[in-house]
Amino acid sequence: MLAPAFMGRRAGEETGMDEATKLLEAVNRLGMAGCNVCPYLRSIDEIGGSWQVAMSLIAAHKLFYTKVYRHRTVYLSAEVYALLRCIRQGREPLYPYPARHLLDLLEQRELCTMQELKAASGLAAKTFQKAWQTLLETMAVTAWAPYQELNPQWSSMLYCTAARWEEAAALPEWDGPPEEAKTRLRARLHGTISEKDVEKLIRDAERD
């Protein structure tokens, strides 16, 4: 299944490249931003962006959509994604069958809506939701592009594996050791989230 080509272009045209550039610069500076307002992390709206502009950056593969932080939807900069990936050292979690099954299906299909994936999986609703949450929280899957607008502030999404996203994203080159990646991650996220939360991100990446 191919992403609707109009989604990324329309978002960029409607919001203007200046807005997208400003939001991308803000997320790159902070390292991450939240989808919704919460006490622990500034949201897209709070740093001068909007949901529409964020979606244009998702469609351009400039931000990594994930739930790696506090089980919440957040957008990572390419740098923070690359640093966490380095800390993980290429390890892939030993997923239980439902999550492994979904990941295998997505690898086969390359791009898929959550509804399509759920139908193809044959999993019960609760089992599917738990497995899907696991994949989002461990950065195994991400949003490729918005798919169908449901209201002015939300749409369904096309999803892909993290490996597929990496092929399209302009990731910063990084060949340093994991310990240096940890140091850079701490520096980048200083003031964005608490030190305790940064250390938890690192521990989770090492454990995955």
> Which tens digit of pLDDT belongs to each residue from 42-86?
999 999 999 999 999 999 999 999 999 999 999 999 999 999 999
How many angstroms separate the Cα of 23 from the Cα of each of 27, 48, 59?
6, 7, 14
127: domain CATH number is: 1.10.10.10
Classified as helix, coil or strand, 58 is helix
**Looking at the domain assignment, is residue 200 inside a domain?**
no
**Looking at the domain assignment, is residue 205 inside a domain?**
no
Domain count, the chain: 1
**CA-to-CA distance for 13 and 207, rounded, in angstroms?**
42
pTM above 0.75, yes or no: yes
**Looking at the domain assignment, is residue 206 inside a domain?**
no
Range of weakest confidence among 141-145, 155-159, 186-190: 155-159
**Looking at the domain assignment, is residue 77 inside a domain?**
yes
State which residues form the domain around 159: 5-194
* Residue 16 vs residue 174, higher pLDDT: 174
Q: CA-based angle 182:195:86, to the nearest 5?
A: 20
- Kindly state the average pLDDT of the residues 2-14: 37
